[in-house]
A and B are shown apart, each in its own frame.
Chain A
Amino acid sequence: MYDVAIIGAGVIGSYIARELSKYKLNIAIVEKDNEVSNGTTKANSAIVHGGYDAKPGTKMAKFNASGNPMFDKVCKELDVPFKRIGSLVLAFNDEEMEALKELYNRGIENQIPNVEIIDKDKILKMEPNINNDVIGALYSPTAGIVGVYELAIALTENAMDNGAKLFLNNEVKDIKKIDKGYKILTNNLEMQSKYIINCAGVYADKINNMVAKESFKITPKRGQYYILDKSASNITNHVIFQVPNKFGKGVLIAPTVHGNIIVGPDSQALNDDQRDETQTSGDNLDYVKNTASKSIENIPFHKTITNFSGLRAEPNTGDFIIEESEDAKGFINVAGIKSPGLSSAPSIAEYVLDIIKNISNNLEENKEFNPRRKMIVFDELSKEEKAELIKKDPRYGRVICRCENITEGEIVDSIKKNGGPTTVDGIKRRVRPGAGRCQGGFCGPRVMEILARELDKDIEEIMKDGQKSNILTGKTKS
């Protein structure tokens, strides 16, 4: 019997898993997909928000404020890219200036450090490409950008290095109360656990309803984005927001940790049965394009390298739901984690640890806990380090992805790690071949060869992403 079963391996589930792995607990992470970080975590703005936006007194405000400062340490421990670049919320008229003041006051109340309202001169000095019609901005220097799926992947890996078990391709079908815990039934196996932590994202209400009475509802809300080539990176060095509206924080323009530019999202509420519908559409992408152009005119959209959409889990309660279920003891919901969910993740994980500490008697610390997870990025090494590494392992001398200079050594290393990838997109999310401007045109076939070799599979069995996403359809006539 496991002590804790975590349902869902997004950034929240994986963060909680790593936090709990600091204690002597038998941890199981149960994930329906063939890969961690495959839902909301895979497709969002990847912003660590300053924390001025959420309404004071809410869980969102509390956890954002306490979560933001924790990113430096965790990203350093796990070799995850994180940059504290600061954010600007732009105002273009008096009404929007009023909204900025409201945000500023929230910032003060939420105890966010160093937020200030700055004038046009200062804005244009910081970001000369901002639309000249701007009249003021809220500057939040502690906002940042993070490699969000890399973070979830690293957290899962580190949790596994410290003893947690990962069960991919296991969709939870039912949960039954048993003596001293629960029985979890998936499409592939049965397991028992004392406690369950529900981190199932857009499916969290469905999981809750398997074991407790219906107490909240999740609406999937879709947001669509553009990613621009690195050669567009000079358009901004900060995260650029517009004044929030009833749909959320609105369309942003921001650098990514890898030097691209992200533009988006819009916000579209989907139906109950559309929880996997991550397609993009021309109209919504046009909306993103037009709205963003208010912040920065002439964004070079001709340098787009891809577009994508993600779903946020919008709770009908208006705030994060993080509590032990009243009618199912030992079943803890961590649900409705919409924005600023990523920013709050470190703090949410600590809070969930406290819940577990409270309901179980005297947790014992895991003295062997190793917080460090290493990741080699060949392109970032010095000449001497590169020479040394190739001497040690010649596979680092073979470049597979020519857009991002990714070596075979890095790809093989990622496959061998705990929770390693089995798909082409899984490799892409870890070490980035295919994430560059050619989007895998050259390296795709080579990545497949390496995956097949390392996993001892036939190349025809290598999937792009999902379990049925076959890339090849058989042999040619010979």
Chain B
Amino acid sequence: MLNYDIVVIGGGPAGLAAAIEAKKNGADSILIIERDKELGGILQQCIHNGFGLHVFKEELTGPGYAEKFIDELKSLNIEYKLDTMVLDITEDKIISAINSKDGFMEIKSEAIVLAMGCRERPRGALSIPGTRPAGVYTAGTAQRFINMEGYMVGKKVVILGSGDIGLIMARRLTLEGAEVQAVAELMSYSGGLTRNIVQCLDDFDIPLLLSHTVVDIKGKDRVEGVVIAKVDENKKPIPGTEKLYDCDTLLLSVGLIPENELSKSAGVELDPITNGPKVNESMETNIKGIFACGNVVHVHDLVDYVTEESMRAGKNAAKFIKKEITRDNHVINTKAKKGIRYIIPHKIRVENLDNTLDMFMRVSDVYKDVKLVIKADGETIKEMKKKHLAPGEMERIKIPVINIKDKNISNITVEVQGEEN
């Protein structure tokens, strides 16, 4: 059996930042396990720019952003295994993993950081009726084919879902000579960042059909067309609004799901809203010494926030090794109230915070000119005016520790107040 202080599962942006920060905070034996042939995760296929504005104050491509971390990881001599798959994690933190070189391994680790990321929702999850031809791809799979393997996936394309990867791929496919006919979005607003709608659709005259969905897929061997219909306020297709789009490809950008099969095998408790682990202020799960960060916890909009959150997880994993995490003390629960879908973290032990409490959250609808109100046991402790809130953009709230320390608070809530929609 191999032994490590900290094993990080996943070598994408979350795993890299966590491992580096753990090392900087005094953890010695750290291992990253990555299933792909290289480190960097999905960043490696995101060749567009727009990464790093918060963390590095410059605009980088995905691989460029990853490289900064990979270089630092190597200079810190942090160990990693590529092309290695974790099969199982037990509650007492024994990891089974395999690869071609080392064979079957059992690894005992004092602390574990879960950083497996997320996967895309496939066609089946939407139950789109029709035939099952070639030519239906999730946006990320198409991105991998085009950016990593150098192959095109189609010539005339319809995209369902206006998540960021779908928007980015609308532009990418257009630049590669494909004709992107439309992006259909079930909701009455886009799930992607505003900057991506402008730069990827508007600049290329690609229509965004809000409150529309695909109701049929045609073609026996390869997609020959898709039928798009308008939906009513209950998201049901409105009869008579169907329109056939002649195309050979349907791209799906209909949401991401945190990848938590291993978390479940380790006994980690999940939040049914985020589909990710419930975590505390240290990004620790309900299992002592098992931490989680990045898209495995909740789907982020910007990789910069993944980095920030993962640094916190890595630092605390190191503190755990050194037995510096305070336990059995007072716990504050966070609760999402009106207009808020979820809040990360779920639990807060104030003694473990440095200077501020950082909360990440997403709203459940589009709001204009409203306030985000943060309350401690019903009493307002902070208000933030917001011109625009949308489910596609994550919100971050910082609360100075001094405002919540030694006050015996049980609940911190966040809600949207004021003019709606």
Contact B141 A469 (CB under 8 A): no
| B154 neighbours in A (Cβ, 8 Å) | 473
Q: Which of B124-132, B189-197, B333-341, B410-418 lies at the interface with chain A?
A: B124-132
| A475 neighbours in B (Cβ, 8 Å) | 150-152
How far is it, in angstroms, between the C-alpha of A470 and the C-alpha of B153 when the chains are bound? 9
Which of the residues B124, B129, B132, B220 comes within 8 Å of A305, measured between beta carbons?
B124
Q: What sequence of 0s and 1s flags, for each residue 112-136 of chain B, a beta carbon within 8 Å of any chain A beta carbon? A: 0000000110111101011111110
Which of the residues B99, B132, B152, B248 comes within 8 Å of A397, measured between beta carbons?
B99
| B382 neighbours in A (Cβ, 8 Å) | none
| B48 neighbours in A (Cβ, 8 Å) | none
Instruction: State the Cβ distance, B92 to closest chain A Cβ, in Å.
Output: 16
Interface size class of A (residues with CB under 8 A): 35 or more
Contact B103 A463 (CB under 8 A): no
Contact A397 B122 (CB under 8 A): no
Q: Is the interface of B mostly helix, strand, loop or mixed?
A: mixed
Instruction: State the Cβ distance, A461 to closest chain B Cβ, in Å.
Output: 12
How far is it, in angstroms, between the C-alpha of A474 and the C-alpha of B141 when the chains are bound? 16
How far is it, in angstroms, between the C-alpha of A391 and the C-alpha of B176 when the chains are bound? 44
| B100 neighbours in A (Cβ, 8 Å) | 390, 394-395, 397-398
Q: Which of A136-144, A234-242, A276-284, A319-327 lies at the interface with chain B?
A: A276-284
User: Contacts A279-B130, A473-B248 given: A227-B124 contact, CB under 8 Å?
Assistant: yes
| A474 neighbours in B (Cβ, 8 Å) | 151-152
Which of the residues B83, B130, B151 comes within 8 Å of A476, measured between beta carbons?
B151
Interface residue ranges of A431-478 to B (CB < 8 Å):
437-442, 444-445, 459-460, 463-478
How far is it, in angstroms, between the C-alpha of A26 and the C-alpha of B139 when the chains are bound? 49
Contact A397 B103 (CB under 8 A): yes
Interface size class of B (residues with CB under 8 A): 35 or more
Contact B129 A280 (CB under 8 A): yes
Contact A304 B127 (CB under 8 A): yes
User: Is A285 in the interface zone, CB < 8 Å from B?
Assistant: yes
Instruction: State the Cβ distance, A437 to closest chain B Cβ, in Å.
Output: 8
User: Is B107 in the interface zone, CB < 8 Å from A?
Assistant: no
| A284 neighbours in B (Cβ, 8 Å) | 129
How far is it, in angstroms, between the C-alpha of A464 and the C-alpha of B99 when the chains are bound? 28
User: Is A399 in the interface zone, CB < 8 Å from B?
Assistant: yes
| A306 neighbours in B (Cβ, 8 Å) | 122-124
Contact B129 A282 (CB under 8 A): yes
User: Is B286 in the interface zone, CB < 8 Å from A?
Assistant: no
| A441 neighbours in B (Cβ, 8 Å) | 119-120, 122, 138, 140-141
Nearest first, the 8 closest Cβ-Cβ pairs linking A and B are A306-B124, A394-B100, A464-B134, A399-B85, A387-B104, A439-B122, A397-B100, A469-B134
Question: A interface vs B, CB < 8 Å?
Answer: 226-227, 276, 278-282, 284-285, 301, 304-308, 383, 386-387, 390-391, 394-399, 402-403, 405, 437-442, 444-445, 459-460, 463-478
A-B contact pairs, 25 of them (CB 8 A): A279-B132, A285-B129, A304-B124, A307-B124, A307-B127, A386-B98, A390-B103, A394-B101, A397-B99, A397-B102, A397-B104, A398-B99, A399-B98, A402-B85, A403-B261, A438-B120, A439-B122, A439-B123, A440-B141, A464-B133, A465-B221, A466-B221, A470-B222, A472-B151, A477-B177
Question: B interface vs A, CB < 8 Å?
Answer: 35, 83, 85, 87, 96, 98-104, 106, 119-120, 122-125, 127, 129-135, 138, 140-141, 144-146, 149-155, 176-177, 215-218, 220-222, 237, 248, 261
